């Protein structure tokens, strides 16, 4: 059975909350449900309008959207409209290539997208395998842990 947009995004929110130590929030869940019903991509104003009856303030919407971007539930798209740039949001496709950097010290996971790597892997031909998607895990030390080590060494 094909998963609905809400299933996919709810799973991502759950995973992100567990990793970040966030408690369940009804407001986040409501915003998630509303944005899944909107035509994609959507603006912050459109989302705010959809959440109007739930009395969720625009400030909260902005905060929740920022969190959803970190959680890779949605991504921001910048569109040029005349002189101004307008930010639109869109649920991230599930088949998107995932590249993750994982800190071996603190477990922090950050996502990145290296188009050059993707190009190389996509260009590979395997006689007995048809490549569709891939995930890349890079292990190492994050900036915070590196800085922490530096400070400790300087004491
Ligand atoms: Zn770290």
How far away, in angstroms, is 83 Cα from ligand 1 center? 40
Measure 32 CA to ligand 1 centroid, in angstroms: 29
pLDDT digits (tens, 9 = 90+) for 93-117: 765 667 888 888 887 777 788 889 9
- Alpha-helical (H) ranges within 21-142 are 26-37, 44-50, 58-70, 115-123
Q: How remote is the CA of residue 65 from the centroid of ligand 1, in Å?
A: 25
Q: How far is the CA of 109 from the centre of ligand 1 (A)?
A: 9
Cα of 147 to ligand 1 centre, how many Å?
9
22-75 tens-digit pLDDT? 998 999 999 999 999 999 889 999 999 999 999 999 999 999 999 999 888 998
Q: Nearest to residue 91, comparing CAs of 30, 25, 39, 153? A: 39
CATH number of 5-91: 1.10.10.10
- Alpha carbon distance 18, 45 (integer Å): 29
Q: Does domain 98-154 match CATH 3.40.50.300?
A: no
From 2, 20, 132, select the one nearest 68 (Cα to Cα): 20
| Residue-range domain boundaries for the chain | 5-91, 98-154
Q: How far is the CA of 102 from the centre of ligand 1 (A)?
A: 8
């Amino acid at each position: 059975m094909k998963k609905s947009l809400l299933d996919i995004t709810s799973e991502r929110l759950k995973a992100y909350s567990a990793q970040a130590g966030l408690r369940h929030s009804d407001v986040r869940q409501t915003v998630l449900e509303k944005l899944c019903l909107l035509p994609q991509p959507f603006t912050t104003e459109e989302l705010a309008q959809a959440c109007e009856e739930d009395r969720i303030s625009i400030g909260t919407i902005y905060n929740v959207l920022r969190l959803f971007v970190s959680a890779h539930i949605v991504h921001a798209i910048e569109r040029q409209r005349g002189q101004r740039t307008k930010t639109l949001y869109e649920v991230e496709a599930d088949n998107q290539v995932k590249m993750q950097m994982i800190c071996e010290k603190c477990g922090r996971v950050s996502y990145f997208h290296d188009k050059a790597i993707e190009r190389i892997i996509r260009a590979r031909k395997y006689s007995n395998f048809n490549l569709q998607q891939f995930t890349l895990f890079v292990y190492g030390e994050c900036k915070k842990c590196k800085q922490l080590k530096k400070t400790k060494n300087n004491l």
